[in-house]
Amino acid sequence: MGPSIVLDTNVLVAGLRSRRGASYRLLSRVGDGSFVACVSVGLVFEYEAVLKRPGNGLALTPGEVDDVLDYLVASSRCQEIHFLWRPTLRDPSDDMVLEVAVAAGAERIVTFNTRDFAGSEAFGVSAVTPGGFLAEMEDRS
């Protein structure tokens, strides 16, 4: 089994907007055993709110978003959060992503906003872009 990661919402949006790029390639590998995606109930609700927001650039119906999220949840480790580390980061929704990573013992947060996760290293979690994470996976094989 591969490393544990937490996907930031922006990676889901990018991967569902276009079939080009690292985000789509990463989403295509969810559930194949090359990594373990970790989620929490709160994080899945954030994913849903953003993916169903009008004007987000996605060509998906609400039902299709539900299908994507159902697959993601079924293929991920659902992590309960028993301790909040807030406030640690500048954005409360980023704190939620960090809390999932810490509770799950995840090695990486995969995001386009790596600067927003400055300080996550204190918890043993580093932030990396989708392309950077895919390159790490290729180096491991």
User: What distance in Å separates the CA atoms of residue 131 and residue 2, rounded to the nearest whole number?
Assistant: 17
Bridge-based pairing state of the strands 4-7 and 108-110: parallel
Bridge-based pairing state of the strands 108-110 and 77-78: unpaired
CATH code, 106:
3.40.50.1010
Considering its fold, how many domains does the chain have in total?
Answer: 1
pLDDT in tens, the chain (141 residues): 799 999 999 999 999 999 999 999 999 999 999 999 999 999 999 999 999 999 999 999 999 999 999 999 999 999 998 876 667 788 777 999 999 999 999 999 999 999 999 989 999 999 999 999 999 999 887
| Residue 40 near residue 102, CB atoms below 8 Å | no
Q: Which residue, among 122, 76, 113, 75, has the nearest Cα to 93 in the 3D structure?
A: 113
Q: Which residues constitute the domain of residue 80? A: 4-140
User: What distance in Å separates the CA atoms of residue 136 and residue 128, rounded to the nearest whole number?
Assistant: 10
